[in-house]
């Protein structure tokens, strides 16, 4: 999968974490994503029921494997982070926006809550 992430000044370590996480999301790598999720994560995908456990990563992945991921922006501040962009697959293009709340401000903190918004072209 070809991946294009935004360039940044490198002062916010969580930007790299979010970039890696969303890349694993686009690859449908639920195991790699689960490593960054708390055991009691709440993940809501707009228009679907929420998932609240380790299976949340699989629940929130795109329906098909992506060929191309482009992340337009990654924004982080304290416990919060967000990113947006699009993925291309055989099924077409899906635009996404993810909003994450980490369990704490620690660099090693896991994602406690996620909201995902998807729009299919």
The CATH T-level fold of domain 2-120 is: Nuclear Transport Factor 2; Chain: A, (3.10.450)
CB–CB of 46/117 below 8 Å? Answer: yes
User: How far is Cα 14 from Cα 66, in angstroms, rounded to an integer?
Assistant: 23
Secondary structure element (H or E) that encloses residue 114, with its range: strand 111-120
Note the pTM of the prediction, 2 decimals.
0.91
The pLDDT assigned to 68 comes to: 98
Report the chain (121 residues): mean pLDDT per 10 consecutive residues: 86 90 94 93 85 70 90 95 96 96 94 94 84
Q: How many CA atoms lie within 13 A of 21 on its CB side?
A: 25
The pLDDT value given to residue 7: 85
**Running DSSP on this structure, what letter comes out for residue 109?**
P
């Amino acid at each position: 999968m070809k991946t294009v992430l935004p360039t940044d000044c490198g002062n916010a370590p969580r930007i790299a974490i979010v970039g890696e996480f969303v890349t694993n999301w686009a690859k449908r790598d639920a195991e790699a994503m689960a490593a960054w999720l708390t055991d009691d994560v709440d993940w809501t995908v707009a228009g679907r029921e929420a998932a609240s456990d380790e299976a949340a990563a699989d629940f929130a992945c795109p329906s098909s494997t992506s060929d191309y991921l482009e992340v337009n922006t990654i924004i982080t501040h304290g416990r919060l982070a967000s990113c947006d962009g699009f993925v291309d697959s055989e099924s077409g293009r899906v635009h996404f926006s993810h909003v994450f709340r980490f369990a704490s401000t620690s660099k090693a903190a896991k994602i406690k809550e996620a909201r995902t918004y998807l729009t299919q072209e």
